[in-house]
Amino acid sequence: MSSVAVLTPESFAEHRSGLKDQENTGCVPEDEAYIPTYLEAFPPLPEKEAPGEKAGEPASVWGSKIRPIKASVITQVFHVPLEERRYKDNSQFGEGEEAKVCLDIMQRTGAHIELSLAKDQGLSIMVTGKLDSVMKARKEIVARLQTQLRSIPKEHHRFVIGKNGEKLQELELKTATKIAIPRPDDPSTNIRITGTKEGIEKARHEILLISAEQDKRAVERLSLEKAFHPFIAGAHNRLVQELSQETGARISIPPPSLPKDEIVITGEKEAVAMALSRIRAIYDDKKRKTTTISVEVKKSQHKYIIGPKGNTLQEILETTGVSVEMPPLDSGSETIILRGEPDKLGPALTQVYAKAKSVMVVEVTAPAWLHRYIIGKKGQNIGRITQQLPRVHIEFTDGEERISLEGPTEEVEQAQAQIQEIIKDLLVRMDYTEVIIEQRFHRHLIGKNGANINRIKEQYKVSVRIPQDSERSGLVRIEGDPKGVQMARRELIEMVQRMENERTKDLIVEQKFHRTIIGQKGEKIKEVRDKFPEVIINFPDPAQKSDIVQLRGPKNEVENKIIADLVRPPIFFLSISPYLSTFEFTAAFFLLQIENSFSLSVPIFKQFHKNIIGKGGANIKKIREETTTKIDLPTENSNSEMIVITGRKSNCEAARERILSIQRELANMKEAEVAIPSKLHNSLIGSKGCLVRSIMEDCGGVHIHFPSEGSGSDKVTIRGPVEEVEKAKKQLLQLAEEVNNFTAELQAKPEYHKFLIGRGGANIRRVRDKTGARIIFPSPDDTEQELITIVGKEEAVRLAQKELESLVKNLDDVVEDSMVVDARHHRHFVCRRGQVLRELAEEYGGVAVSFPRTGANSQRVTLKGAKDCVDAAKKRIQEIIEDLESQVCVEVAIPQRFHRAIMGPKGCRIQHITRENEVQIKFPERDDSAAGQDAPPQENGEVSPEVEFAPRKCDIITIAGHEEKCEMAKAALLALVPITEEVEVSYELHRYIMARRAAGSGR
């Protein structure tokens, strides 16, 4: 509320004349009779002294003595907002309560009061009179015409905030203020507004309006028996809808499925009161007039009485005015209660029985395996029945020997007869059998592209079901004609027996002899295959430069007969075949095979496998060639560290030494022993080896070996790189000192673990260095995947626990953020089935990264997850983008005719180069029209020397990646291009060379 005093020369003269009148009438005391003039009361300000004026001369009348004003009349104007007016009936303004109050105040104080109504329906009040009269009048006006400022009730705060805070944001924006509303758990009701005076007044006004609006609303909760709710709602809720429309109140009746008897009415106070009165009247009337009867109906028929979505019950209520109360479907009760007026219960009961018997349910027994034949191909049999009898519902239960039919009685009986006829016919001409076959043979039974199993199905007119690998079942089911079923079963068993007797044998035969064994146009190998049709012979691709020939077939043929035929004269033809009989040759060959079958395993640290393979497989290839051995490394996804070497014993040992020497050069390996009391060994190992495993992981994968339990030995062996061994030794001794001190456990979601550990263990190492405690995360095999164990001194453990709890709490606060990523980079993140996004989610606490859909004109990427994880993921995405933008494209021109050779079998060579050099290689589209132009022109069988290679579009291979990596990949590609060398040989020897080539000699 504000006040304004208005005083002008004119108003002052009026007041002065008024006071003179009072003087004449003797109303003013004698000492206050003198009234000064306006200029005397308010003399003008002194002007600046002129140059010619004397200093001692007074500049204005301000220097003269003025008599004090003993009395005056003042005017005050103030405003009462609409929400603070005590009387708001504007229809009788000037004649209502406000006018009466003002007259009473004027009589009591002697002040003059004028009222006026503002555009905003606020009240403007002007009070005129002496100072003490005006003050008294104003005090009474505030007390009698203005409501006192009140706090906003707690229940109104949510309306000020609005849905998702939208109302509050709009209010702050509109008034340029900051509005602080107490939290729900805060007992305070004070709303704090910060801003300019005008803005605060505006915001306060809006908030009071919202509160006043809510004051007008009312909520009534009426508890009435659940049984009478249908009468209040009416059939299909029509009655309650009419009540809502008539009264303007919102009426909420709980659904029949909800066991609540409370009806909630909301709206304007008058509307709520009217609706409440109407509902009570309906309830009292029905309670007085209605009665009940109970009937027993089979539980299976209840659903027909209820009808779809309860429509049947609503129809009975609408036509008879009787409410039908059904027991819950999950209860065993069969009792139905009818509630209504006595004369209407009879018709309602008739309808209930009619609905209950309107549908019939029948079950037909049929073997479960026969169901699909009853249904027919593409549902033909059942489709025919349902077309004839559309109101019959037929249901087959998977795995059960019954078929359910539901519908009108006559139609169900017809459908039942038809289905029984189909079953009778099928049982006469159909049979089935089951046979157990180990799962490892299933893919061989199916054959390539289903060739084997399809042949059996067509030949014997049967259906064969082989379980999926995911089912982990060996049960194969055969269905069809009885005779065909037995024949198919016999053939499958024979195939399995052959496979059980089957063996796979690897022969090491120098590649230069492979062509000779195969023979011209494959004649020699065809002869062997015809002789042993059940044996599969696989020669390696010439580009692989492998010496291994694989044989697969029956054991006796693979290991005895075929080997002699396969390697008959060709391998040693030039050396020993003229001097050995067939028997001697075969015996010598078997001795050679036995000698070449020696095998040993070498444990090599996983991180050194790529060094043993070498660039482009150079190292492993060299060792294989120089030692004549077969060397198998575990796959990249395998956890195994064993490298298997096969060949002659002496050669295998030489290869092992070569491999171990590479490891020794790469890592200065060391083996150390540390003495720890045997009684502490179990504590150091920890539950399922978690403690010792954490040390091994922390120290670069060193191997720690404890003596067997009960041996009494205190020696613990540590093996690995020198620096890591010393580090593991130090940690092991430190753990031995702390192992009996203190242990604490902490729960955290498994997806948070990687983020808590950090890239390269950075986060967890920081906590460990800061607190001195050891933090152990669960292994994939542990049952408690959320349990993190902290070991160390109590103080250190408590500190580490506090740090981790703080990190986990931050991770639980989910936020949503976004960033802009250039559309040209989107494919890198979403390709390969979103591999990069999966890696981001795994590494950063399960953060969800959403890229816009393909074709959407947007560059905004959304991230959702824990705040720290989102920030770290954004940083990582930015690093990836910077890396992508720093990449270059390099083109290498290689004639199209060499592209297939460069790719290798199934693209293996290109995959190796891309993986080794971290680049992307794109081959051009093949141009078949240019195929004939690939080879340079020849003259008399020789390449024309003046022709040079002119690259075309189909010859350009593109490499994308970092510049130095692209150059390395380019060199690797060029190294794979076949080359031609010319050798000068005397013309007289040409015929001998040609003759040897024809004979299959590889010299």
Whole-model pTM? 0.31
- CATH number of the domain within which 867 lies: 3.30.1370.10
Helix (H) or strand (E) holding 612: helix 609-613
Residue 941 lies in a domain: no
Asked if residue 669 lies in contact with residue 603, where contact means CB atoms within 8 angstroms, the answer is: no
CA distance 242 to 247: 9
pLDDT at 338 (0 to 100): 92
Three-class secondary structure of residue 549 per DSSP: strand
Is the same domain home to 280 and 331? no
Asked if residue 921 lies in contact with residue 910, where contact means CB atoms within 8 angstroms, the answer is: yes
Q: CA separation (Å) from 387 to 105, 371, 379, 422, 756?
A: 92, 19, 12, 16, 64
Is the same domain home to 198 and 233? no
Per-state percent for the chain, helix, strand, coil, to nearest 5: 55, 20, 30
CA distance 87 to 82: 9
Looking up tokens 């199209």 gives 896
Three-class secondary structure of residue 645 per DSSP: strand
CA dihedral of 43, 46, 52, 53, whole degrees rounded to 10: 60
Is the same domain home to 894 and 953? yes
Is the same domain home to 122 and 19? yes
Asked if residue 282 lies in contact with residue 233, where contact means CB atoms within 8 angstroms, the answer is: no
Is the same domain home to 11 and 138? yes
Asked if residue 197 lies in contact with residue 162, where contact means CB atoms within 8 angstroms, the answer is: no
Residue 727 lies in a domain: no
CA distance 960 to 884: 10
Asked if residue 415 lies in contact with residue 395, where contact means CB atoms within 8 angstroms, the answer is: no
User: How crowded is the C-beta side of 822, counted as CA atoms within 13 Å?
Assistant: 8
Alpha helices in 146-249 (DSSP H): 157-161, 166-175, 197-215, 229-233, 238-247
Adjacent-strand bridge partners of 75: 128
Residue 588 lies in a domain: no
Is the same domain home to 366 and 243? no
- Burial class of 1002 by CB neighbour count within 10 A (0 to 12, 13 to 18, 19+): middle
Residue 707 lies in a domain: no
Q: How many CB atoms lie within 10 A of CB 588?
A: 13
Residue 54 lies in a domain: no
Is the same domain home to 294 and 274? no
Domains of the chain: total: 10
- The residue out of 398, 429, 460 marking a domain boundary is 429
Q: How many CB atoms lie within 10 A of CB 958?
A: 14
CA distance 115 to 393: 81
Three-class HEC string of 228-249: HHHHHHCHHHHHHHHHHHHHCC
From 320, 316, 321, 319, select the one nearest 305 (Cα to Cα): 316
User: How crowded is the C-beta side of 302, counted as CA atoms within 13 Å?
Assistant: 19
Q: Which domain holds residue 550?
A: 503-581
Is the same domain home to 466 and 515? no
Is the same domain home to 444 and 482? yes
- The residue out of 128, 145, 162 marking a domain boundary is 145
pLDDT at 67 (0 to 100): 55
Residue 851 lies in a domain: yes
The two beta strands, 548-554 and 536-538, are antiparallel
Asked if residue 478 lies in contact with residue 435, where contact means CB atoms within 8 angstroms, the answer is: yes
pLDDT at 939 (0 to 100): 43
Q: Which amino acid, one-letter code, is at 476?
A: V
Token duo for residue 716 = 């613990």
- Could you write out the DSSP letters of every residue in 736-789? HHHTTTEEEEEE--HHHHHHHH-GGGHHHHHHHHHH--EEEPPPTT-S-TTEEE
Residue 684 lies in a domain: no
In degrees, rounded to 5, the angle at the alpha carbon of residue 390 between the alpha carbons of residues 384 and 391 is: 140
Rounded to 5 degrees, what are φ and ψ at 951?
A: -65, 140
Is the same domain home to 15 and 134? yes
pLDDT at 575 (0 to 100): 40
CA distance 2 to 909: 89
- Burial class of 714 by CB neighbour count within 10 A (0 to 12, 13 to 18, 19+): middle
Asked if residue 917 lies in contact with residue 961, where contact means CB atoms within 8 angstroms, the answer is: yes
Is the same domain home to 36 and 97? yes
Residues of the chain with pLDDT under 50: 1-33, 48-65, 149, 567-591, 934, 937-947, 998-1003
Adjacent-strand bridge partners of 671: 719
Strand order of the sheet with strand 536-538? 502-508, 548-554, 536-538
Helix (H) or strand (E) holding 250: strand 250-252
CA dihedral of 925, 926, 929, 932, whole degrees rounded to 10: 140
CA distance 603 to 617: 19
Is the same domain home to 881 and 891? no
CA distance 716 to 671: 11
pLDDT at 617 (0 to 100): 81
Helix (H) or strand (E) holding 457: helix 451-460
CA distance 299 to 336: 10
Residue 958 lies in a domain: yes
Token duo for residue 330 = 């999950």
Token duo for residue 495 = 């195939």
- The residue out of 350, 374, 394 marking a domain boundary is 350
